[in-house]
Amino acid sequence: MDDDCDSSTDESNGSCASGKVCFRAACRAAPASYCTQEQHEGHLYAFCSSGLISWDSADAVCLNWGGTQVVLNSASELSYVRGKVGGALTWIGYSDKTQEGTWVWEAPGPYITQWCSGEPNDATNEDCAQLNWHSDGCWNDCECWLKTSDCTAVYCVCEMS
């Protein structure tokens, strides 16, 4: 087994190449050049920002990386993510795309939610959750496929656990 992420079996002091992070005994590249990676409390996160991105595109980025969009399991994880993205609109791995009104996370729980007042409202077939809709960081439901200033995000956050 390669416990030190250097491609050689059972010796020490290895490290990953520049731009990669060792996670679960494997060197992991970021999902895209516009993403930065960081480990926190046993999870690997990729914070991706390249301008406006739809939820569907963000989901594809995270799945191709081998993870999911971030699943918020605790207040401390929510605080950590908010600390990294600031007040920027950010997609999270929560949607009711499969069945309207039945919101499902992309990975096992437990979970937390923090909808803005009156949300989710499915105003225009809105099926995907977005963090930081208002200054208090609450959540909004939005169209998954749109890439406009009304219903998009600057960040997507991928998570691997």
pLDDT in tens, 21-57: 888 888 888 888 889 999 999 999 999 987 788 889 9
Indicate if 3 and 77 belong to the same structural domain: no
Asked whether residue 23 falls in the same domain as residue 45, the answer is no
77 lies in the same domain as 20: no
Q: Which residues of 16-55 are buried (b: 16+ CB within 10 A; e: fewer)?
A: beeeebbbeeebbebbeeebebeeeeebbbbbbbeeebbb
The average pLDDT across 73-102 equals 93
**147 in the same domain as 91:** yes
Same domain, 21 and 53: no
**Average pLDDT rounded to a whole number, residues 51-76:** 91
pLDDT, greater one: 92 or 7: 92
Residues 6+ apart with CB under 8 A from 79: none
Q: What CATH number is given to the structural domain containing 36?
A: 3.10.100.10
Q: Do 17 and 82 have their domain in common?
A: no
Whether 141 and 104 share a structural domain: yes
Q: How far, rounded to the nearest angstrom, does the alpha carbon of residue 4 sit from its chain's CA centroid?
A: 26
Asked if residue 103 and residue 79 are part of one domain, the reply reads yes
pLDDT band at 88 (very low <50, low <70, confident <90, very high): confident
Q: How many domains does the chain have?
A: 2
Confidence of residue 70 (pLDDT cuts 50, 70, 90): very high
pTM score: 0.83
Q: Do 152 and 112 share a structural domain?
A: yes
| Together in a domain, 71 and 147 | yes
Strand partners, 35: 48
Q: Are 76 and 130 in the same domain?
A: yes
What whole-number percentage of the chain has pLDDT above 70? Answer: 88
Query: Do 74 and 95 belong together in one domain?
Result: yes
Domain range enclosing 134 = 31-160
Q: How far apart are CA 103 and CA 122, in angstroms?
A: 12
- In this prediction, residue 5 has a pLDDT band, given cuts at 50, 70 and 90, of low
